Amino acid sequence: EAVNSRTPVPPVTGEVRVRKTDAETGDPLAGADFELWRETNDVPGLQTDGADPDTHVSDCTTPANGVCSATTIPGTYYWRETDAPDGYDLPDPNVFGPLTLTEDNAEDGVQAEAVNSRTPVPPVTGEVRVHKTDADTGAPLAGADFELWRETNNTPGLQTIGINPDTHVSDCTTPANGVCSDTTTPGTYYWRETAAPDGYELPDPNVFGPLTLTEDNAEDGVQIEAANTKEPVPPVTGSLTLDKTDAKNGEPLPGAVFELWRESNDVPGLQTGGANPDTLADAGCSTDEDGQCTFDDLPLGEYYLREIAVPEGYVLPANPVSGPFEVTQENSEEGVTVELANDRGEPCKGKDCKDDTHKAARG
C-alpha cells in the first residue's frame, strides 16, 4: 500500500511598507530609521515596552527611494520611526499604523505614508557691541547707559522720534569691562548713549554707528568704540571779606574803597607799578553799610588790600596796603576775613605837618 503526503503549502506573505517623504515637497527621504512591530498582545495601539509588549519584527533605514519594507505573514503591523533624516524633525506621533496584511491584499502589500518636516533653521545672529573707554587713558568705563537701535526707516542716520523712527532694540548699561552687547539678526544698527558714567561728559554727538552686521561677519560680530572725556573739574576758589570799622568806637564804617591785588611777580610785598607789577584782581570795592567788602571766586594764592579812598571825616592809614592774605584749599570753603580800622581826622596840610597822625590800620 502506497501512502502520499500533501505537498506543504507555503504560507501567504506580503510586503509591509512605509514611505518617508518631505512634508512640503513630497520628495522621498533617505536616512529615516524605522522599527517594524507586529500586533500580538491584543491591546489596541502599539506597545513597545512593559510586561506584555507587541512583537518587534525588524529594523530598517530608508534608502534613496524613501521606502522601508518587510515581507511577512498576514497580521497587524506598525512602523515606528526612531530617528529622522538629517535636517528633519522626528514626527510626533512617530508611530504609523496599524496596517493590516491579509491573504487578500498580500499580493500588493500594504503601505503607510510618513511625512517629515524640516527642522527650522535658526536665523543667523551675531553680536553688536559698543566699547566705552576713557578718552585719555583708554581704560574701560562702567556705568554708561546705551540704547541699541536698528535701521528700519531707510533714512540715513538714526531717527528716534517722529512719525517713522528707526526701531528700538534694547537697553544696556556698561559693566566693568565697558562693553555693551546684543545678539541679533543681520542689519544696520546704532548705539545711542543716553547717560555718561559719573564724572564724565556725554559725548556730542552721542550716537555711534552705523554698524552693519552680515551673515559673513556674524561669527565675530561688529563693535564700535565710544570714548568719554572727564567733566572739567572747576578750580578751587575762595573769598576774602573785609570788615572796616571806626578805630575809636568799633562801629562799621561804610564808604571805604579798596583795591584787591594778587601776588604774581614773586617779589615780596605789593608792587603796583613798574615793569613787573603784581596783578590787580579787583579795581575797587566800597564797604557797605555793614562796613564790609567781599571778593569772591578768588584763585588760590596771596592777596593784598590797598585802601584808595576813605569816608568823609576819616584819614587814610600811613600805609594803605594790608597783607599778604593767603587763600588756600584749606580755608577756601569758609573764606578769609580781614579786619581793618580807620582813624577820624582831616588830611595833614602845610609844611609843619611832619608827624602825620594817620595811624596804620589794624587787621
Q: Reply yes or no on whether the pLDDT at 28 is more than 70.
A: yes
Query: Which band of pLDDT confidence, cut at 50, 70 and 90, is reported for residue 346?
Result: low
Contact 166, 159 (CB under 8 A): yes
Q: How far is CA 285 from CA 38, 209, 359, in A?
A: 114, 55, 22
Strand 237-246 versus strand 257-262 pairing type: unpaired
Percent of the chain beyond pLDDT 70?
A: 95
Averaged pLDDT for residues 286-298: 95
| pLDDT tens digits along 190-206 | 999 999 999 999 999 99
| pLDDT tens digits along 229-259 | 999 888 999 999 999 999 999 999 999 999 9
pLDDT at 98: 97
Residue of 102, 98, 54, 56 lying closest to 75 (CA atoms): 102
Global pTM? 0.55
Q: Reply yes or no on whether the pLDDT at 7 is more than 80.
A: no
Q: Where do the domains of the chain lie, and which CATH numbers do they carry? A: 14-116 (2.60.40.10), 126-228 (2.60.40.10), 237-267+277-342 (2.60.40.10)
Residue of 73, 69, 32 lying closest to 55 (CA atoms): 73
Query: Which band of pLDDT confidence, cut at 50, 70 and 90, is reported for residue 348?
Result: low
Query: Which band of pLDDT confidence, cut at 50, 70 and 90, is reported for residue 362?
Result: very low
Q: Reply yes or no on whether the pLDDT at 350 is more than 60.
A: no
| pLDDT tens digits along 153-175 | 999 999 999 999 999 999 999 99
Averaged pLDDT for residues 269-290: 94
Q: How far apart are CA 143 and CA 122, in angstroms?
A: 33
Burial class (CB in 10 A: 0-12, 13-18, 19+), 93: exposed
Query: Which band of pLDDT confidence, cut at 50, 70 and 90, is reported for residue 363?
Result: very low
| pLDDT tens digits along 301-340 | 999 999 999 999 999 988 999 999 999 999 999 999 999 9
